[in-house]
Structure 1
Amino acid sequence: MMQRGRKLFGVIVTMGIVALVASACGNTGKSADKSKEEASGASPAPVTLNFFTHGNSIVLAETLESLVHKKFPHITLKTTKDAKGSTVFDVLNAGQTPDLISYSLGSLQDLRTLRLLGDLTPLIKKHGFEMNRLVPGAEAAARALSGNGELALMPFELNNNAIYYNKTIFDKFGVPYPKDGMTWEELLDVAKKVTRTDGGVQYKGFQYNALNVVYKDQLALGFVDPNTNKAAINTDSWKRWLDVMTSFYKIDGNAQAGDEKVNFLKNQTVAMRTGPNYLTDLPAAMDAGLNVDFVSLPKFSGMSASSSQMNAPFYVIPPTTPHKDAAFQVIAYLMSDEVQTIMARQGRIPIINQESVKKEYAKDLKGLEGKNLAAFFQDAIAKPVPSTAYDGQAKTIFTNAALVPVYQGKKDINTALREAEEQINKHIESELKK
């Protein structure tokens, strides 16, 4: 902790220096020069944007660099990819403040701690960006996550979930395929029918990525009470959620074992799964014999109108950058029909509410023609629950200390929730003492 404290102190000091320099440079007459350029029709001055990318969006770095430079020849993205030795902490400690950041929702608190979240509202108004282009619920979720009524992050794609299912396993056992619009309780019955041993092979009915289903939070339950800064998980509603979501692993033969992605794609021993989307991995798996299709993500019984909490990567513009306008130009372009269509064709769910773009979903991926891709668009964004700075760690603790031990049979639900609650509260207390 001492070493991390020194590291964080160094980052904060570095940021203070950068902020002072940026402020001093702000009065050099650049605005006047820009006005003269526009009036004379001169080409914009070259701008290099230090772009930091983190999480699953790292694989987009080269594509984004090319797209942006083609659209704006005067703008160059100089990309740093998150890795050991080049985290956002490392970058700031080296005296380099990013001008544009792509980050994952689970690590949002990193950027908040480092004071890298700047309100985008003035830039949205200045550049006439229409927030109603986004799918319903996206702006409200982004504002809730930003806090203080601001809009500090711009989600750029969705991580909607669906149920992937292996048609071969269903055909082998003569079981009807799952359907759109099922409840989790109905899916449990289906999972029981395809959890079987055949030819010495254990086929598992249903598996999921644990942290992903926690982030979906389909019952719209808070993890931390924003009024008390205390854990809010030891409730009847969370008990219901745990009871339903752990029931799958209590099916004889369906205990969680190994990586669900490997078991579904490579070993092809899992009949159904959900979690992060990996459509780009499907063509190779299909060449190896996987016969896959999709149905919509189930909902809890009696809650057919419910949706999921937004789980999306996002862009931010640090408040200290002297290139806010250029950075926002880039964001606005990456949210355009043109770029969103390119991403949609690659299997990335568009954040914009444009039917013509949605129709292009996964068209560049071999073998997905005729599949029920509409299932992914049935996972809508719910009204956001109150957000706190401790949610990210609380979700991780809930997953590791409650969900996993219960479905592994190591703890009962009441014990798991009580112990996870204690861990979350200890974490919050330690953070408040810093």
Structure 2
Amino acid sequence: MKKRLISWTLLSAMLVALVGCGQTTTEQDTSNTDESATGGSGDVITVAMWDSPQEPGFTEILAKFTEETGIETRIEVTPWDQYWTMLEAAATGGSMPDVFIMHSNEIAKYAENDMLLDLSDYIASSDKIDMSKYPQDIVSLYQNEDGAQLGIPKDIDTVALWYNKTMFDEAGLAYPDDTWTWEDVAEAAQKLTKDDGSQYGFAVSPDNDQGGYYNIIYDYGGYVLSDDQQTSGFDQPGTIEGLTVLMDMEKNGYMPPYTTLVENGDCTLFMSGQVAMTLQGSWKVNDLTNNDYVKENCDVVIKPMGPNNVRTTIYNGVAWAAPANSDDPETAWKVIEYLGSQEAQQMQSDLGVMMSAWEGTSDNWINAHPEFNLQAYLDVMNDTMVIFPHSRRTVNWANMIKEEIGAGFTGEKTPEETCKNIAEQMNQILEETN
């Protein structure tokens, strides 16, 4: 493998929280996170994750694993905002968790420094893992430059439109359906917005990329990153047009003010009854379906379309990984092998934890919350799916976008000026990091 020499001191400066699969759940608990619990533990295999709503399901899954193998495990949950700092510190100290979740934003840094266990030989001799059963875009995310497999896909996520039925009823509006376009969303948002600022028609946070505005960009024929990962697409006409639709809703007062969105987040505002519609990724389903207000007032539908009936969902998936310097790689692999197996992936879906990566195992996921139309997250897979835009240093340019896009929401710059500014800076970052 061609190894780039990147110090972990430098990496620490780049480990800034991003929005992506399972992130921005600021309401999550900090469970089992004291320093004494971090790292390999000999007889007990530590399994690290950031999403506390998924912990009960994985406790049950790993209990089944222990029953079958006799191997004890312990789940450690660290909220997204601290997870990557924890993992970097553990890597620097040589005490990474035995098994942990890896994200497409971060994989390159760990792969280039040979910090992850090569799973290729284990996979080749396994009767439980079949890499052809996972989405191949997600499989490829967790390979190094030489094609070694460094992670086993855990899940797949898509995006849908959540709406407040009570607010629609009060406004005398028909609920969104599969014919809705972004123009329909903007029109309804106007009618659902109250002049006193107590209720807004729509919300997408400036930091909600995968679950929010990335989808609108592709619906309008734009793109975030070129296929060769060398060039920004923010200066493309479709990108500018799509973001103009979104930013105009903000300008016209149909979305909460920029500062409100930044401070609270679109999902929190929706769950507190201040917003009538919002785009949310499937990783937020546990938060939404367990919220009493949402249970009483809300539902979900397939996301809207852009011009020419183009409906795109940005999808992604995380993976199970282990440290290259594992004290017990064979046992760590047994845990990963089980978590990636059809049996465990089916359990993940059946328990309502998350849509699973293994082909055909996600159908039962919707049954965990039958009061909601979660089928919307599966139906969108029949339309255009675009893998989460990523490059060798996704974090660098993704954080820049979240900072600079605010100028378009506040009106400091026009949507076109905002997009072209992002494209210029993004191209510079790509040139420096690729």
Q: Please report the TM-score for the alignment, with normalisation by the length of structure 1.
A: 0.74
Structure 2 partner of 1:389 = 392
For residue 377 of structure 1, report the CA deviation from its aligned partner. Answer: 0.8
Superimposed CA distance per residue, residues 212-267 of structure 1 (whole angstroms, 9 cap, x where no aligned partner)? 3255564572436747x55453222322332233233233343443422222112x
Q: Equivalents in 2 of 1:91, 1:80: separation in Å?
A: 14
Give the conservation status (yes or no) of the 8 Å contact 1:178–1:190: no
Which residue of 185, 188, 209 corresponds with 1:187? 185
Q: Equivalents in 2 of 1:70, 1:335: separation in Å?
A: 17
2:136 partner amino acid: E
Structure 2 partner of 1:31 = none
Give the conservation status (yes or no) of the 8 Å contact 2:154–2:340: yes
Structure 2 partner of 1:40 = none
Superimposed CA distance per residue, residues 20-73 of structure 1 (whole angstroms, 9 cap, x where no aligned partner)? xxxxxxxxxxxxxxxxxxxxxxxxxx9654544346687467556534323321
Which residue of 286, 289, 296 corresponds with 2:292? 286
Which residue of 321, 327, 336 corresponds with 2:326? 321
For residue 295 of structure 1, report the CA deviation from its aligned partner. Answer: 0.5
Give the conservation status (yes or no) of the 8 Å contact 2:49–2:100: yes
Which residue of 160, 165, 168 corresponds with 2:166? 168
Q: Equivalents in 2 of 1:88, 1:300: separation in Å?
A: 39
Give the conservation status (yes or no) of the 8 Å contact 1:225–1:231: no
SS state of the match for residue 95, structure 1? coil
Q: Equivalents in 1 of 2:414, 2:399: separation in Å?
A: 19
Q: Please report the TM-score for the alignment, with normalisation by the length of structure 2.
A: 0.74
**Range 234-243 or range 218-227, more displaced:** 218-227
1:350 partner amino acid: S
1:394 partner amino acid: W
Structure 2 partner of 1:101 = 100
SS state of the match for residue 208, structure 1? coil
2:301 partner amino acid: V
Structure 2 partner of 1:412 = 414
Give the conservation status (yes or no) of the 8 Å contact 1:196–1:203: yes
Percent of pairs with identical residues: 17
For residue 175 of structure 1, report the CA deviation from its aligned partner. Answer: 0.6
Structure 2 partner of 1:89 = 88
Q: Equivalents in 1 of 2:402, 2:120: separation in Å?
A: 34
Superposition map of 1:140-179 within 5 A? 140-144=137-141, 146=143, 148=145, 149-179=147-177
Superimposed CA distance per residue, residues 131-163 of structure 1 (whole angstroms, 9 cap, x where no aligned partner)? 3433xxx22233156353444333312232211
The number of aligned residues is 380
1:396 partner amino acid: N
Let me know the Cα RMSD of the aligned residues.
Answer: 3.6
Structure 2 partner of 1:23 = none
Which residue of 194, 202, 207 corresponds with 1:206? 202
For residue 88 of structure 1, report the CA deviation from its aligned partner. Answer: 1.3
Superposition map of 1:4-43 within 5 A? 7=9
2:130 partner amino acid: E
Give the conservation status (yes or no) of the 8 Å contact 1:55–1:104: no
Structure 2 partner of 1:376 = 377
Q: Equivalents in 2 of 1:408, 1:225: separation in Å?
A: 31
2:198 partner amino acid: Q
Q: Equivalents in 1 of 2:388, 2:75: separation in Å?
A: 36
Give the conservation status (yes or no) of the 8 Å contact 1:308–1:379: yes
Distance 1:399 1:411, change over 3 A: same
2:269 partner amino acid: N
Q: Equivalents in 1 of 2:102, 2:53: separation in Å?
A: 8
The runs of 5 or more residues in structure 2 that have no matched partner are 1-5, 13-41
For residue 309 of structure 1, report the CA deviation from its aligned partner. Answer: 3.3
Structure 1 partner of 2:276 = 271
For residue 91 of structure 1, report the CA deviation from its aligned partner. Answer: 0.8
